[in-house]
Amino acid sequence: MGTYYVYIIYSQSGGCYYRGFSENPEKRLLQHNNKESHYTRKHCDWTLIYLERFQTKKEALIREKGLKKYSKMQIGELIKSQKNILVG
């Protein structure tokens, strides 16, 4: 069993968030900033602001799907929460 992550990145220039899933969030962030992702290639100043760890891919994908429905206000609260392993 591996480790899976759900992440949120933020683009200062676009003022927007992107939620995703990865087994290697640091590598995935580089891909976003190198314009290797269709949905995020418009901006190249992405910063990792939220990271949550899961033991199964299924759990992570379910969480990612749920986060895609979050408003900017909900994301702001989540970033400050104990679920964010970047905060702890």
Q: List the one residue out of 5, 20, 10 whose CA is nearest residue 47.
A: 10
Q: Has residue 88 been placed in a domain?
A: no
Comparing CA positions, the residue from 43, 57, 53 lying closest to residue 84 is: 53
Question: Listing from the earlier edge strand, what are the strands of the sheet with 4-11?
Answer: 16-22, 4-11, 46-54
Q: Confidence class of residue 11 from pLDDT cuts 50, 70 and 90?
A: very high
Is residue 87 assigned to a domain? no
In this structure, is residue 20 part of a structural domain?
A: yes
User: What's the number of domains the chain is made of?
Assistant: 1
Q: Which pLDDT score, from 0 to 100, does residue 87 have?
A: 87
Instruction: Give a yes or no: residue 85 inside a domain.
Output: no
72-76-77 Cα angle (round to 5)? 120
In a domain, residue 86? The reply is: no
40 assigned to some structural domain? yes
Q: Which domain holds residue 73?
A: 4-80
pLDDT at 55: 96
Q: What is the pTM of this model?
A: 0.94
CATH number at residue 68: 3.40.1440.10
Percent of the chain with pLDDT over 90: 93
Please answer whether residues 62 and 18 qualify as being in contact, where contact means their C-beta atoms are separated by less than 8 angstroms. Answer: no
- Say whether pLDDT at 1 is over 70: no
Kindly report, residue by residue over 27-84, the tens digit of the pLDDT: 999 999 999 999 999 999 999 999 999 999 999 999 999 999 999 999 999 999 999 9
Q: How many whole angstroms separate alpha carbon 46 and alpha carbon 55?
A: 26
